[in-house]
Amino acid sequence: GFSQALEDAVNEGGDRNILFIAAAGNSGTDNDASASYPSNMTCTRTSAGAARGWDCIVAVAAIDANGNLASFSQYGATTVDLGAPGVNILSTLPGASYGAFSGTSMATPHVTGAVALCASQDAGISGQEARQFLLSSTATTASLAGKTTSSGRLDVATMMGSCAPAPVPMTGLPSSLSMGARSRTGITIGWTDGVANESRFEVQRARFTS
């Protein structure tokens, strides 16, 4: 059911660039036709009421090992975003044991983990960017066509290609390198330094024979 308090909390998180990853539900119904919460909550406006410009909720359906939409999984062409593995998923159990479970609640942690992995690559990635990277990298899946907004399933490898930080240009390189013979056994090397206050320089040489 709907909770205004939870929706308010999710919107507060959205104000801070936090994504809320929600399970679509396990009744096999269409969330476009019959809303299911919290995945159907609205997070497109800030807590102050202004347009956010992006939706801070990602709703997840469950697929099996063959990429088929699970029979129990809820879906929605406009309200559920992508699919992820949610059938016979090995998980921890109380008492330090393991067991296999099925459900959209088993699919959702895959997506949450992918977003966290993306954010770990670059602390500057915003929630909006993480959502964009997540949904633009999905692998097109026939069973999810017309059932999710992306028509695809989670593809972590492709997503990570977008999450990697841009290479930082190297700065402080020396320039105007010059070399001259000082004697039969010595040379003089000169350059214009690109960085100040170094503690030392290291010069390496290699001998080549033809």
pLDDT single digits (tens) 43-99: 988 888 889 999 999 999 999 999 999 999 999 999 999 999 999 999 999 999 999
Helix axes 156-163, 127-136, angle to 10 degrees: 140
| pTM of the predicted protein model | 0.79
Cα gap 156→87, rounded to integer Å: 18
> What pLDDT, in 10s, does the model give residues 84-143?
999 999 999 999 999 999 999 999 999 999 999 999 998 889 999 999 999 999 999 999
Mark residue 28 as left, alpha or beta (left: phi above 0; alpha: psi -120 to 50; beta: remaining).
left
- Residue 70 C-beta-side C-alpha neighbours within 13 Å: 29
Q: Where residue 209 falls among pLDDT bands split at 50, 70, 90?
A: confident
Cis peptide before 38 (omega within 30 of 0): yes
Q: Please say whether the beta carbons of 69 and 147 come within 8 A.
A: yes
On the 0-12 / 13-18 / 19+ scale of CB atoms within 10 A, 179 is exposed
Token pair recorded at residue 79: 């309200």
Instruction: Tokens for 28, please give them.
Output: 């096999």
Q: At what angle do helices 104-121 and 156-163 cross, to 10 degrees?
A: 30
CA atoms within 13 A on the CB side of 55: 16
Q: How far apart are the first and last CA of the chain?
A: 79
- DSSP string covering 72-117: T--B-TTT--EEEE-SSEEEEETTTEEEEE-SHHHHHHHHHHHHHH
